[in-house]
Structure 1
Amino acid sequence: PEPQPLDVQPENIPLDIIYEDEDVVVVNKARGMVVHPAAGNLNGTLVNALLYHCKNLSGINGVIRPGIVHRLDKDTSGIMICAKNDAAHLSLSQQIQAKTAQRTYLAVVRGNIKTDSGVIETLIARDKNDRKKMAVVKEGGRDAVTEYEVLERFGKYTIVRCRLRTGRTHQIRVHMEYLGYPLVGDPKYSPMKTPFSIQGQALHSQTLEFTHPRTGKRLSFEAPLPEDMHKIVTRLRLGQFN
């Protein structure tokens, strides 16, 4: 389509930038930050902040989502890559589609996962009873595949690493709830009281590996755990969660 005038306003919002060059910017998104403007969140988003910081972003996703190659939920923290031009955007999108760009997530879930590792493979679609939620369905959904690996067990809670083979909306949150181990603090899929102080689900996009669209060099980055999840992990290790 013809280029449209950009009507999303740049905003001077602090960003935690892990890496940046003329083609890409890798950021550590804070929990609570919306990625791009949408109904109810027209400003204060990552896109508003990026437009102020970068000036130039790719236009492939249109005026509302410039530069956004992949998304994180509002209350998921961690590493994201954004494209500064269309060539970088196309390359990164193709890598994500071809699964050559690797992402891992760290999650704290309720319960003691029985197996040390596994693969969850289902269909996911909109929940028929709540359009704001996703659900595992028997037919009519899209393929969704998540690999998981248990890192630490604490009886009532488990720390798990997840790797996405597909990128469906709320995929890790839906898949862990489907297994019977919902994420701590998840307001949609585990609306139970938690002994921990966290606003939203205990899910962090921890690592990202991709091939640079211009140089062809393989790059790898890691975003440290945010303070709220670091405190949860510390309390779990000290046994302070009853």
Structure 2
Amino acid sequence: MMIRKPQGNRRKPEDAKTFAVPEAAELLPFLLSRLSHTGRNSVKSMLARGQVSVNGRAETAYNYPLKAGDSVTISKKRIEEKPRLLGLSILYEDDDLIVVHKEAGLLSIASPHDTEAVTAYRQLMDHVRRQHPSNRVFIVHRLDRDTSGVMMYAKSEKIQQALQNNWQEAVQERTYIALVEGRVRKAEGTISSWLKESKTLKMYSSPHPGDGLHAVTHYKTLRTGEGFSLLEVRLETGRKNQIRVHMQDIGHPIVGDKKYGSRSKAIGRLGLHASVLAFVHPATGERLRFESPLPKAFLAPFRTAETS
């Protein structure tokens, strides 16, 4: 199998080892198979430190998909090229915070059953540790795996606690766009209920007032079509799966949300996008506002109806 040499005059780092990939595999298992005398944790550390590149580009994701013919290089020194972020882009960063746009399909943080998955948290941890080995990031809030949009991480436990303990006052705007099933008749409305979690970890609205956590969701209809509606949704409270439960409650589940009653796969993903996050900076007192554009897929069902 022939491996193409990198273009230009770049030289491989000293003491580097290069391996050809014979067949499709994930990066971590491939490295472990080639570095049989190196412990698993040591190999993970090499990835985190940016010592592994694929086809000349540094990669840190354990489950990065390799293809037959790829070239994997392991260096004893850190590769200077910054590893790319997968499904993630940084919108804002200072000494206290990182605000990002997360794509649908990326976990905010690893689940107990998938500890080696690529996550926003792991990638941002690698990002800040390249600046200084002792740096860390801390979860402030989460987006579901299949929800896209704006989210925020803290760079210290102090900032994390300041935001979480004062969340209702600090966050001035938290808006989502939801593509839901059916034609929503009311131009706007408010849904209020008490949310509880079942033994199967599914959230639901209790029929008994005061039984659970109070949740309030405001919505405004942006567009309706044959079988779908596009809503702007504003959270007054931020409970787990709140929008998904409340949309099911009014008979208009979010497209692609099988867990909460959807039968449609019209856009091949969950029809929920965190479009706006505005908050008061816990250290400076400055008001910051970030907006993520609506995914084009959310308009596809309406274009289809117009052309049919």
Q: Deviations over 1:221-242 (max 9, x none)?
A: 101233xxx1230441452597
Percent of aligned pairs sharing the same letter? 36
Corresponding residue for residue 282 of structure 2: 213
Q: CA 1:185–1:151 in structure 2 vs 1: closer, same or farther (change >3 Å)?
A: same
**TM-score computed with the length of structure 1 as normaliser:** 0.83
Is there any run of 5+ residues in structure 2 with no aligned partner, and where?
1-43, 49-59, 62-84, 130-134
CA distance in 2, matches of 1:83, 1:18: 14
Corresponding residue for residue 268 of structure 2: 198
Q: Deviations over 1:128-186 (max 9, x none)?
A: 6xx13111112332111111111111142110011111111110000001000000111
2:104 aligned to 28, 31, 35, which one? Answer: 31
Q: Which structure ranks higher in relative contact order (CA pairs < 8 Å, sequence separation ≥ 6)? A: 1
Larger Rg: 2
SS of the aligned residue for 2:91 comes to strand
Runs of 4+ in 1 over 6 A off after TM superposition: none
Residue identity matched to 1:18: L
The answer on whether the counterparts of 1:95 and 1:101 sit within 8 Å (CA) in structure 2 is: no
Q: CA 1:54–1:241 in structure 2 vs 1: closer, same or farther (change >3 Å)?
A: farther
Corresponding residue for residue 293 of structure 2: 224
Q: CA 1:38–1:238 in structure 2 vs 1: closer, same or farther (change >3 Å)?
A: closer
Instruction: Give the aligned length.
Output: 220
The answer on whether the counterparts of 1:92 and 1:213 sit within 8 Å (CA) in structure 2 is: yes
Corresponding residue for residue 53 of structure 1: 127
CA distance in 1, matches of 2:201, 2:264: 21
Establish whether residue 143 from structure 1 lines up as the match of residue 214 from structure 2: yes
**TM-score computed with the length of structure 2 as normaliser:** 0.66
Root mean square deviation of aligned Cα: 2.1
Residue identity matched to 2:234: R
Is there any run of 5+ residues in structure 1 with no aligned partner, and where?
1-7, 58-65
Shift of residue 191 of structure 1?
A: 4.1
Establish whether residue 98 from structure 1 lines up as the match of residue 169 from structure 2: yes
Corresponding residue for residue 236 of structure 1: 302
SS of the aligned residue for 2:223 comes to strand
CA distance in 1, matches of 2:93, 2:243: 28
The answer on whether the counterparts of 2:181 and 2:264 sit within 8 Å (CA) in structure 1 is: no
Shift of residue 115 of structure 1?
A: 1.1
